[in-house]
Amino acid sequence: MVALSYRFKAFVVDMFMIMMPIMYITTYIVFDTKEQMQSSDIARWATAGIYGAVVIIFWCLKGQTPGMKAYDIKVVDKKTVQNISIVQAVNRYLIFMFSAITIVLLFVPFFKKEKHMIHDILTNTIVIKA
């Protein structure tokens, strides 16, 4: 079982290594200014979608994002302990996004003995030491 602190740190690293370049390209190459980017709902959803696609590819191919690799953790199927399927990865990302938007669901691990996040529970995945 991996501590929530490692998962959070890995997420922060991923935001800087994956999301920041996507945001930079979208803001200054696709749009001319950050104000134009901020006023476009489509651009914000597109950057979230691109970030999600990149993360899903990492999860399916390697079982870990760059941030997870930095903290030596990996997401695997709970039953087979192998890399997760594309369906699991997509569902895991979508459920994570929903739980982040609602905020309340992010607190699920604090009430569960196993400390699993809601997206791990619903997609039958676990995060382990790599």
Of the candidates 86, 85, 74, 81, the residue with the CA atom closest to the CA atom of residue 7: 74
| 64 has a pLDDT exceeding 80 | yes
Question: pTM of this prediction?
Answer: 0.87
Rg value, the chain, Cα:
15
Burial class (CB in 10 A: 0-12, 13-18, 19+), 71: buried
Q: Which two tokens stand for residue 79?
A: 């039953």
Number of neighbours of residue 115 by Cβ within 10 angstroms: 16
**Annotated domain spans of the chain:** 4-129
- Give residue-wise pLDDT tens across range 81-118: 999 999 999 999 999 999 888 888 777 777 777 778 88
pLDDT of residue 39: 86
pLDDT of residue 8: 93
The encoded tokens of residue 75 equal 């997401």
User: What percent of the chain is modeled with pLDDT above 70?
Assistant: 100
